[in-house]
């Protein structure tokens, strides 16, 4: 059997609490990706998506404790000395962040920033790296790239800055691209262009993509597989179209309903009642039970459901995953089309 490009097994992340002690923020996560695979991770803020992304790049906050295994082409990344991790980051594994200005240095020209990983990881000369950086800026659609290469990040629009960070991330042709809410700060038209571009580049270069978003609509159009996270754990996963068609978890149903909204039906916008508890304050039993419309007293508030196969190539962590009738709580009328 071929070794997967990325193999994540039993990943747990504990964060330090202000009052002392640790809170488990990511619990027993398992997934794998082959070259060319695209995986979307969705969930509200505080569900563990971004921590998972940071763990893949060895960028967890100070004081975080991580256990389990993250293997890239069979090589274990957890426990790797920072010196060795730095040779992989921006080289074999790259990241696109939500806010491009956090990834770009305001006092360096854009061409210098795109060229830097090429000099660092590929040993290109200054002239070679500059020429390649301009090619990359052109490829990601920065207008008039050769003439504007020596401009600074603030001289570009938000969408152009995000294209520049994508050029930086792709400079060394990484095996794995992790994009954490890459379009949240952009308007809808630019958002679509950026996502189309990332999808094209991933296919063109045979990379694997992990796309993190709180927006199921974005995920629907851009990834083959979907993992829904709540309470630091995977609550549903499977082929994107299957998850959207079957929605074997009330949280997935609620997220999707809130994305599709009521505008098409002239209904009020839907939101899942309540909020995500802070790490360390999760309830007993199913972590979603205080917000779940079909929670069963004595069962959901006492026993944590296992992650079980749904029979459609997917998994769901709900006591009622095998009972589609009981899972209809948030549906009124025929199900919405997702375009997935
Ligand atoms: Fe809701 Fe119970 Fe399923 Fe949790 S296990 S999602 S509380 S029905």
CA of 290 to the centre of ligand 1 (A): 9
Length of the chain: 340
Rounded to whole angstroms, how far apart are CA atoms 303 and 57? 34
CA of 260 to the centre of ligand 1 (A): 22
Please report, in tens digits, the pLDDT of each residue of the chain (340 residues total): 577 999 999 999 999 988 888 999 999 999 999 999 999 999 998 899 999 999 999 999 999 999 999 999 999 999 999 999 999 998 999 999 888 887 899 999 999 999 999 999 999 999 999 999 999 999 888 999 999 999 999 999 988 998 999 999 989 989 999 999 888 777 788 888 888 888 888 888 889 999 998 878 788 889 999 999 999 999 999 999 999 988 999 999 998 888 765 455 566 778 888 999 887 789 999 999 999 999 999 999 999 999 999 887 899 999 999 887 777 766 543 334 343 3
> Residue 197 has what pLDDT?
83
Ranges of beta strands (E only) in the chain are 6-16, 22-33, 38-42, 65-72, 75-76, 93-96, 176-180, 208-213, 225-230, 233-239, 308-309, 315-316
Looking at ligand 1, which residue's alpha carbon is closest to its atom 7? 289
> Residue 267 has what pLDDT?
64
Tokens 């917000």 correspond to: 291
CA of 288 to the centre of ligand 1 (A): 6
DSSP letter at 326 equals: G
CA of 322 to the centre of ligand 1 (A): 12
> Residue 52 has what pLDDT?
95
Q: Which atom of ligand 1 is nearest to the CA of 319?
A: 5
Residue among 285, 288, 302 to mutate when testing ligand 1 (max atoms within 8 A of CB): 288
CA of 291 to the centre of ligand 1 (A): 9
- Residue 262 has which token pair? 């009521």
Looking at ligand 1, which residue's alpha carbon is closest to its atom 5? 318
Residues with CB under 6 A from ligand 1: 249-250, 286, 288-289, 292, 294-295, 300, 305, 318-320
Q: Which residues does residue 39 pair with via DSSP β-bridges, in sequence order?
A: 210, 225
Rounded to whole angstroms, how far apart are CA atoms 69 and 29? 10
CA of 210 to the centre of ligand 1 (A): 27
Residue among 254, 284, 287, 292 to mutate when testing ligand 1 (max atoms within 8 A of CB): 292
Q: Which atom of ligand 1 is nearest to the CA of 286?
A: 4
């Amino acid at each position: 059997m071929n070794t997967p490009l990325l193999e994540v097994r039993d990943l747990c992340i504990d964060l330090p609490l202000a009052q002392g002690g640790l809170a488990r923020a990511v619990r027993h996560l398992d997934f794998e990706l082959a070259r060319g695979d695209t995986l979307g991770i969705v969930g509200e803020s505080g569900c563990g998506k971004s921590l998972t992304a940071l763990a893949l790049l060895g960028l967890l906050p100070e004081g975080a404790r991580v256990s389990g295994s993250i293997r890239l082409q069979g090589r274990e990344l957890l426990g790797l000395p920072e010196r060795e991790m730095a040779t992989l980051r921006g080289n074999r594994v790259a990241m696109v962040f939500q806010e491009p200005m956090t990834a770009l240095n305001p006092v360096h020209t854009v061409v210098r920033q795109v060229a830097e990983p090429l000099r660092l990881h590929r040993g290109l000369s200054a002239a070679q790296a500059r020429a390649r950086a301009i090619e990359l800026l052109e490829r990601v659609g920065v207008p008039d790239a050769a003439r504007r290469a020596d401009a600074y990040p603030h001289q570009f629009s938000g969408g152009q800055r995000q294209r520049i960070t994508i050029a930086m991330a792709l400079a060394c042709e990484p095996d794995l691209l992790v994009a954490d809410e890459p379009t949240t700060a952009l308007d809808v038209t630019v958002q679509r262009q950026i996502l189309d571009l990332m999808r094209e580049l991933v296919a063109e270069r045979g990379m694997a993509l992990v796309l993190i978003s709180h927006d199921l609509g974005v995920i629907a159009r851009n990834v083959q597989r979907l993992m829904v996270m709540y309470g630091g754990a995977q609550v549903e996963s499977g082929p994107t179209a299957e998850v959207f068609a079957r929605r074997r978890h009330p949280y997935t149903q609620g997220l999707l309903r809130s994305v599709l909204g009521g505008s098409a039906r002239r209904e009020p916008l839907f939101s899942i009642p309540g909020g995500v508890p802070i790490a360390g304050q999760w309830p007993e039993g199913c972590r979603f039970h205080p917000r779940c419309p079909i929670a069963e007293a004595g069962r959901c508030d006492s026993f944590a459901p296992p992650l079980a196969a749904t029979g459609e190539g997917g998994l769901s962590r709900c006591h009622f995953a095998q009972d589609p009738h009981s899972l209809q709580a948030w549906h009124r009328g025929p199900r919405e089309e997702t375009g997935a």
